[in-house]
Amino acid sequence: MKLAYDFYKSLLLINKNLTKEIFLEKSGAQSGYSLNMFSRMYDSVTSELINVDLEYKKFYSFEYENIEQFLYRKYNIRGKYIDELMQFRKDNPDCILYRKDDHSYGDYGIPQFMFSESMYDRIIEILTLKKQTNED
């Protein structure tokens, strides 16, 4: 799940077991241009990720009584989106909450395309390893 906040910044739920090898294997890209393209997608989505769970625990847990309050007050996330994030995480307990600058990778086109309407559901399925988690 990806949730935009502020200016070109996003919260992302990504499965803790995801690696570049798994991402590429699940994309079906095995060589040539497709492998290059999906490699850049993985590098883009994982570039400069900040673990929000750790950030909260380490720096803000004394200030906010739970992560929901932290997201609401520190990042101005609306309540209904926090509920969606928390519900998604409850359904996918292996996912870690990250935040990132959408353009940290330097290639503007790749992140824009991978979260476009045509790609979003399929990319999220890989990032969360949702099918695998449900089958498990």
Partner 1 sequence: MKIRYDFVTNSSSTSFVIISDGEFNFKEFIEAVGIKNDSAFFDIYQSLFDAFRDYMEPAREFYAKHYAGTYSTFEEFIEQQLWKSGKEVLPKVLEAEKKGKKVFIGKLSSDNDEIESFFCTDEFIIESDKLFIDAQENGW
We find the least distance from the C-beta atom of residue 36 to partner 1, in angstroms, to be 7
We find the least distance from the C-beta atom of residue 91 to partner 1, in angstroms, to be 21
112 interacts with partner 1 by CB under 8 A: yes
Contact string (CB under 8 A) for partner 1, positions 5-44, x = contact: ----------------------xxxxxxxxxxxx------
DSSP string, 56-115: IIIIITTTSSSHHHHHHHHS---HHHHHHHHHHHHH-TTEEEEEEETTTTS-SHHHHHHT
Q: Contacting partner 1 (CB under 8 A), which of 60, 64, 72, 113? A: 113
Tokens 């090898």 locate to 21
Stretch that binds partner 1, among 73-81, 86-94, 97-105, 111-119 (CB under 8 A): 111-119
Length of the chain: 136
The Cα 37–Cα 57 span in angstroms is: 35
54 interacts with partner 1 by CB under 8 A: no
Determine the Cα angle at 96 with ends 124 and 24, to 5°: 45
The Cα 6–Cα 101 span in angstroms is: 10
| Count of residues engaged in binding partner 1, rule: CB under 8 A | 22
- Chain residues that interact with partner 1, rule: CB under 8 A: 27-38, 109-110, 112-113, 116-119, 122, 125
